[in-house]
């Protein structure tokens, strides 16, 4: 029986250093270089960013999501979760620590399924933070149902070394505009189930035929200023060795990538939600109205209590799921809890950010505070890597597997039958008790 909610003292020192480092050195980057974390470094920004990355490497905190055999530090998901709580406060922090989305998931599947040549070409520079990547999966007409995907990859020839030619459309391909390569999911055998007939390809973004039609932005971003591309793959030719993990393996690979990505999003969301709670509490203690502080108003106290409880429950849920991943080393085995985390995540961030915004009054809805960006981010989290509703279905199906229907007319816990069984079980004692009355 070993339950322990304490962090190892040595690792706590690491986290304390990371907390100070992010606050003092990295959070200012969000204001000095906003929305540039996925833009390849020029000579000027490199002078600022490279020393910070070097310091992280010296501390042994670079790319902690991968094991040493895969090119990372081998800290595991639980330690990564504790670290990501800190990194989630800043847009730049995951980049400085080599664990930014979508590159973490992309690195993981290349590490697991890539050839040595693919690892040398794509994984090594990705882990070094020299390039960025894009996961190009969703299609405009298909939404969250990959069985409806129509993007095709066909061989131009009959031999094993024949090129593949990709045609189709992809939507919301995040970071495509600054990525060096894309991981493209395409139908390679339409005559079998989509679960066996789809494959993944590693495609450099400068390959002829890749046409970014527009870069879709989130609410508040200008036309073509976003980072979520609509891409037309128009006779995009790639060599045979662009295939990742073998023909027909796309769904197996996707589960590895998406499982990791979902839990990593949740880890960072803890930090962002905590930041909103911290700002709410500071405002409540600082602002006077109607003769007393906001902190003395019951409505505000309710906001703070509800936010704290939500965040605490969510944090424990994420840490437990991260522990499970480390224990079983199998995302499929933890699928139910990863899906449950994904379901809860957007609501937690939305609710806490919204309450914090309310407590800040008119200032809270301006672009001088980050709350509306958090609320929009919560909406994105409810859709990215699969919508909340789909994950609720997954959770329900997984939960129901542990139960079975009753063959009787009445429920198992039907009180009249249970009462009779109890009386039968203790009949001798009950008779003795009656006799003594």
Is residue 235 within 8 A of residue 165, CB to CB? The reply is yes
Is residue 217 within 8 A of residue 238, CB to CB? The reply is no
Give pLDDT tens digits for 323-358: 999 999 888 899 999 999 999 999 999 999 999 999
Per-residue model confidence (pLDDT) at position 178: 93
pLDDT in tens, the chain (437 residues): 678 888 999 999 999 999 999 999 999 999 999 988 988 888 999 999 999 999 999 998 988 877 777 666 778 889 999 999 999 999 999 999 988 888 888 988 998 899 999 999 999 898 888 899 999 999 999 977 889 999 999 999 888 889 999 999 999 999 999 999 999 999 999 999 989 999 999 999 999 999 999 999 888 887 777 899 999 999 999 999 999 999 999 998 988 777 777 888 999 999 999 999 999 999 999 999 999 999 999 999 999 999 999 999 999 999 999 999 999 988 889 999 999 999 999 999 999 999 999 999 999 999 999 999 999 999 999 998 889 999 999 999 999 999 999 999 999 999 999 999 999 999 988 887 766 65
Per-residue model confidence (pLDDT) at position 261: 78
**Cα first-last separation, the chain:** 45
Q: Angle CA(255)–CA(273)–CA(100) in degrees, nearest 5?
A: 45
Per-residue model confidence (pLDDT) at position 375: 96
Element (H or E) spanning 46, and its range?
A: helix 43-58
What rounded mean pLDDT belongs to the chain? 92
As a whole number of angstroms, the distance between CA 35 and CA 428 comes to 77
As a whole number of angstroms, the distance between CA 310 and CA 328 comes to 27
Per-residue model confidence (pLDDT) at position 255: 80
Per-residue model confidence (pLDDT) at position 432: 77
Instruction: Match 């081998």 to its residue by tokens.
Output: 74
Give pLDDT tens digits for 415-426: 999 999 999 999
User: In 217-330, where does DSSP find H-type helix?
Assistant: 250-286, 298-328
Closest to 376 measured CA to CA, from 349, 404, 341, 338:
349
DSSP 56-76: HHHTT-TTTTS-GGGTS---H
DSSP collapsed to 3 states, 327-390: HHCCCHHHHHHHHHHHHHHHHHHHHHHHHHHHHCHHHHHCCCCCHHHHHHHHHHHCCCCCCHHH
Instruction: Match 């959770």 to its residue by tokens.
Output: 395
- Residue 200's SS3 state is strand
Instruction: List b or e across 393-408, with b for residues whose CB sees 16 or more CB atoms inside 10 angstroms.
Output: ebbeeeeeeeeeeeee
Locate 256 and state its tokens. Answer: 């590895």
As a whole number of angstroms, the distance between CA 354 and CA 299 comes to 14
Q: Angle CA(203)–CA(209)–CA(214) in degrees, nearest 5?
A: 90
Per-residue model confidence (pLDDT) at position 143: 79
As a whole number of angstroms, the distance between CA 331 and CA 260 comes to 8
As a whole number of angstroms, the distance between CA 399 and CA 33 comes to 45
As a whole number of angstroms, the distance between CA 83 and CA 80 comes to 5
Q: Which domains does the chain have, with CATH numbers?
A: 9-114 (1.10.540.10), 133-244 (2.40.110.10), 252-400 (1.20.140.10), 406-437 (no CATH)
Is residue 254 within 8 A of residue 106, CB to CB? The reply is no
Task: Verify cis geometry, omega within 30 degrees of 0, for the bond prior to 102.
Answer: yes
Per-residue model confidence (pLDDT) at position 140: 94
Per-residue model confidence (pLDDT) at position 108: 85
């Amino acid at each position: 029986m070993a339950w322990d909610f304490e962090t190892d003292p040595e690792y706590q020192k690491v986290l304390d250093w990371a907390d100070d480092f992010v606050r003092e050195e990295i959070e200012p980057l969000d204001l000095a270089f906003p929305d540039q974390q996925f833009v390849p470094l020029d000579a000027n920004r490199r002078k600022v960013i490279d020393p910070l990355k070097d310091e992280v490497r010296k501390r042994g905190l670079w790319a902690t999501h991968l094991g040493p055999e895969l090119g990372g530090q081998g800290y595991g998901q639980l330690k990564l979760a504790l670290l990501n709580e800190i990194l989630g406060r800043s847009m730049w922090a995951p980049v400085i620590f080599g664990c930014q989305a979508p590159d973490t998931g992309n690195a993981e599947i290349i590490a697991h399924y890539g050839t040595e040549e693919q690892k040398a070409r794509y994984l090594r520079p990705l882990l070094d933070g020299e390039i960025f990547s894009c996961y190009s999966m969703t299609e405009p007409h298909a939404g969250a149902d990959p069985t409806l995907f129509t993007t095709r990859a066909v061989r131009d020839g009959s031999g094993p070394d024949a090129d593949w030619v990709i045609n189709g459309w992809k939507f919301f391909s995040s970071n495509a505009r600054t990525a060096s390569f894309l991981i493209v999911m395409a139908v390679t055998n339409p005559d079998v189930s989509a679960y066996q007939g789809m494959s993944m390809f590693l495609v450099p973004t400068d390959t002829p035929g890749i046409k970014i039609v527009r870069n879709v932005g989130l609410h508040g971003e200008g036309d073509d200023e976003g980072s979520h591309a609509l891409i037309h793959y128009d006779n995009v030719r790639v060599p045979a060795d662009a295939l990742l993990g073998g023909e027909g393996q796309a769904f197996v690979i996707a589960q590895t990538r998406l499982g990791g990505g979902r839990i990593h999003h949740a880890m960072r969301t803890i930090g962002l939600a905590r930041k909103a709670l911290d700002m709410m509490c500071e405002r409540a203690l600082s602002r006077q109205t109607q003769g007393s502080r906001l902190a003395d108003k019951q409505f505000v106290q309710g906001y703070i209590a509800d936010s704290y409880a939500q965040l605490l429950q969510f944090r424990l849920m994420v840490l437990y799921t991260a522990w499970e991943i480390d224990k079983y080393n199998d995302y499929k085995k933890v699928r139910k809890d990863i899906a449950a985390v994904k379901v809860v995540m957007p609501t937690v961030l939305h609710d806490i950010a919204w309450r914090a915004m309310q407590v800040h009054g008119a200032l809270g809805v301006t672009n001088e505070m980050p709350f509306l960006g958090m609320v929009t981010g919560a909406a994105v989290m409810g859709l990215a890597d699969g919508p909340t509703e789909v994950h609720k279905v997954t959770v329900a199906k997984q939960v129901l597997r542990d139960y079975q229907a009753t063959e009787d007319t009445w429920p198992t816990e039907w009180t009249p039958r249970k009462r009779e069984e109890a009386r039968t079980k203790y009949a001798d004692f009950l008779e003795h008790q009656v006799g003594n009355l």
